[in-house]
Each structure stands twice: as structure tokens, then as C-alpha cells.
């Protein structure tokens, strides 16, 4: 991103939940395992992507690093990008314990990460894209498109909302999370919709195609949980 943009979105300021706090980071894996199996989920995504040894993968919003570590265990060259130094420190320790050294941890974000190596085969981002307002999502997608090699794949998983019965579906999600994990997750989920920037699937569809991606598959589970697999459009010759 050009230095001259003094009005660049402050992506280093956390919105909603504050993942710069060490206490949030320490609790993250335990709290998320109430409703996710982080290792199983990561490997399912890696299987879908068909990651091979030496593939280059950039994971934006790597958090505590579970996905990056699983990718590194398969031999990928991984860039784990996160705006939170506390998350990166935690993930580095986890990677050391897992015995992987093929992860470069980068204190950076969607809007200023500079990928200087060979073009990436894959970009992934899970439960992170909602941290950016929609205009900046578009800027981020354009940047990611430039980091990928032609035909490279982008995987996005996040809370993304279908228009039909949106309010009812959001209420059902909040209820489900509260049932799985009590008031803590209820408060988290409510804050998500109040303060963060989850968007409509039709907005995502437009942003992706205008940024040079072809949507290969799209699933919006229960009207609120979105998974997109996209490829970088090949230039017409
Ligand atoms: C909900 S956690 C998701 C972590 C992990 N991807 C997962 O699936 O569990 C969101 C993470 O995104 C990071 N983050 C927030 N805004 C970001 C940005 N603009 N660029 C990169 N990372 C960001 C936060 O610091 C946090 O670690």
C-alpha cells in the first residue's frame, strides 16, 4: 500500500474482540474448541486445497497458528500473517513445540503485508475477513490477487450472511453458540454482529469477481457461515 495514503484503514486497531491482549490469546484455543475442532478443521481445508510439499501458502489472521502449523507439517512454505504481536508470539511457541520451522511469522495485515517471495499458490483466511469494512475488503482482495500466481487459490471461511431471513439466522447462530459454550460465547457473538463487519454473501460475490477471482465453490451454512474457494482468474491471451 502506498505510503502516501494517510487515510488508510487502521487495521492494527482490533475491532470487537481484542486479540492484542495476552489473556484473550491464552484462552483462544480452549474457548474455540467448544465449537470447533481446530486441527481436524485445518486438515479438512488442506485436503480440499490439495496442498503439496513446497507449495507457498499465506494465511492471513493466523491467530494461534493451528492452521499454519498443520500446513507446515505437510511441507508447505507458510507465511503466517497477523496484526497481533501476542498472537504471533503464541503461535511461534506452538510451532516450535510442533517441531516445524517452515513458517515465517509476519507482523502485518491484509492492507500492508508485502509478499516479496515467488507468487503464492494459496491464500487462506479463516474468521478474519470480517475485521475489515467492505470497502477495505475490496482493497485487500485486490492485493491478495496480486500475491497469487495465476490459477492460485483463495480460501475464505467466515461469518458471511445470506439476505433471506438474515436476522432470524443470526439469532439462531447466537443461540447455538450460547448453548455450546454459555454466556461467554453469546456475548462474543452479539458483539460480533454489533461491532464487526460481517457482510452479505452478494457483497462478497461482487468483491471477489471484481478483484479478479472466479468463485469455484461457495457454501453459506445456516445462512450465516460462509466458505468460498476461488481461483485467480487466468489472463486471456
Ligand atoms: C478470530 S481470530 C482467527 C484466528 C484463526 N484464523 C482461526 O481460524 O482461529 C482473528 C485473528 O485475525 C487477526 N486480525 C485482525 N485483523 C487483521 C488484519 N487486518 N490482518 C491480519 N490479521 C488480522 C487478529 O489479530 C486475530 O488473531
Res 1 pLDDT > 70: no
Q: Count of CB atoms within 10 A of residue 87's CB?
A: 24
Q: Is 108 close to ligand 1, i.e. is its CB under 6 Å away?
A: no
* pLDDT value of position 3: 61
Q: How far is the CA of 236 from the centre of ligand 1 (A)?
A: 34
Q: What is the mean pLDDT of residues 102-126?
A: 97
* pLDDT value of position 151: 95
Q: How far is the CA of 81 from the centre of ligand 1 (A)?
A: 8
- Mean pLDDT over each residue of the chain, to the nearest integer: 95
Q: Name the 3-class secondary structure at 175.
A: helix
Q: Is 109 close to ligand 1, i.e. is its CB under 6 Å away?
A: yes
* pLDDT value of position 234: 76
Q: Of 88, 83, 80, give the one whose Cα is nearest residue 104.
A: 80
Q: How buried is 84 (Cβ within 10 angstroms: 0-12 exposed, 13-18 middle, 19+ buried)?
A: buried
Q: pLDDT tens, 40-92? A: 999 999 999 999 999 999 999 999 999 999 999 999 999 999 999 999 999 99
Contact 181, 34 (CB under 8 A): yes
Looking at the CA of residue 84, tell me the nearest atom of ligand 1. Answer: 25
Q: Is 49 close to ligand 1, i.e. is its CB under 6 Å away?
A: no
Rounded Cα distance, 108 and 22, in Å: 18
- pLDDT greater at residue 205 or residue 1: 205
Q: pLDDT tens, 160-169? A: 999 999 999 9
- Report residue 137 as a C-alpha cell: 475488503
Q: Of 127, 83, 120, give the one whose Cα is nearest residue 105.
A: 83
Residue given cell 507468487 in the structure block: 119
Rounded Cα distance, 201 and 230, in Å: 14
| Closest residue by CA, ligand 1 atom 10 | 128
pTM of this structure: 0.97
Query: Helix (H) and strand (E) counts for the chain?
Result: 7, 7
* pLDDT value of position 23: 96
Residue 123, strand partner residues: 58, 154
Q: Is 127 close to ligand 1, i.e. is its CB under 6 Å away?
A: yes
| Closest residue by CA, ligand 1 atom 13 | 61
The helix or strand, by DSSP H or E, that contains position 92, with its residue range, turns out to be: helix 85-98
Q: What is the mean pLDDT of residues 22-29?
A: 96
Q: Is 155 close to ligand 1, i.e. is its CB under 6 Å away?
A: no
Q: Is 110 close to ligand 1, i.e. is its CB under 6 Å away?
A: yes
Rounded Cα distance, 224 and 7, in Å: 31
| Closest residue by CA, ligand 1 atom 26 | 63
* pLDDT value of position 180: 83
Lowest mean per-residue pLDDT among 108-122, 129-143, 179-193, 215-229: 179-193
Q: pLDDT tens, 31-48? A: 899 889 999 999 999 999
Percent of the chain with pLDDT over 70: 97
Torsion on CA atoms 227, 172, 11, 210, rounded to nearest 10: 40
Q: Is 152 close to ligand 1, i.e. is its CB under 6 Å away?
A: no
Superfamily of chain region 22-232: Vaccinia Virus protein VP39 (3.40.50.150)
Q: pLDDT tens, 180-216? A: 888 888 999 999 999 999 999 999 999 999 999 999 9
Domain boundaries, the chain: 22-232
Res 2 pLDDT > 60: no
Q: Is 87 close to ligand 1, i.e. is its CB under 6 Å away?
A: yes
Q: Is 158 close to ligand 1, i.e. is its CB under 6 Å away?
A: no
* pLDDT value of position 4: 73
Q: Is 11 close to ligand 1, i.e. is its CB under 6 Å away?
A: yes
Phi, then psi, of 28 in degrees rounded to 5: -55, -55
Amino acid at each position: 500500500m502506498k505510503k502516501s495514503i494517510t487515510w488508510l484503514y487502521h487495521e492494527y486497531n482490533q475491532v470487537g474482540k481484542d486479540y492484542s491482549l495476552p489473556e484473550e490469546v491464552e484462552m483462544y484455543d480452549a474457548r474455540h474448541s467448544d465449537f470447533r475442532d481446530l486441527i481436524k478443521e485445518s486438515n479438512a481445508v488442506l485436503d480440499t486445497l490439495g496442498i503439496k510439499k513446497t507449495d507457498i501458502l499465506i494465511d492471513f489472521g493466523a491467530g494461534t497458528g493451528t492452521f499454519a502449523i498443520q500446513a507446515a507439517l505437510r511441507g508447505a512454505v507458510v507465511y503466517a500473517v497477523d496484526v497481533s504481536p501476542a498472537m504471533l508470539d503464541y503461535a511461534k511457541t506452538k510451532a516450535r513445540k510442533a517441531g516445524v520451522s517452515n513458517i515465517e511469522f509476519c507482523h502485518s495485515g491484509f492492507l500492508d503485508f508485502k509478499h516479496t517471495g515467488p507468487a503464492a499458490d494459496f491464500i487462506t483466511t479463516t474468521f478474519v475477513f470480517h475485521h475489515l469494512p467492505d470497502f477495505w475488503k475490496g482493497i485487500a482482495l485486490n492485493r491478495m490477487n496480486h500475491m497469487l500466481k495465476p490459477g492460485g487459490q483463495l480460501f475464505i471461511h467466515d461469518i458471511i450472511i445470506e439476505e433471506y431471513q438474515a436476522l432470524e439466522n443470526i439469532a439462531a447462530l447466537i443461540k447455538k453458540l450460547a448453548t455450546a459454550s454459555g454466556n461467554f460465547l453469546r456475548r462474543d457473538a452479539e458483539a460480533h454482529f454489533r461491532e464487526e463487519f460481517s457482510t452479505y454473501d452478494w457483497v462478497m460475490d461482487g468483491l471477489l469477481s471484481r478483484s479478479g477471482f472466479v468463485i469455484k465453490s461457495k457454501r453459506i451454512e445456516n445462512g450465516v457461515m460462509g466458505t468460498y474457494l476461488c481461483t485467480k482468474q487466468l489472463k486471456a491471451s
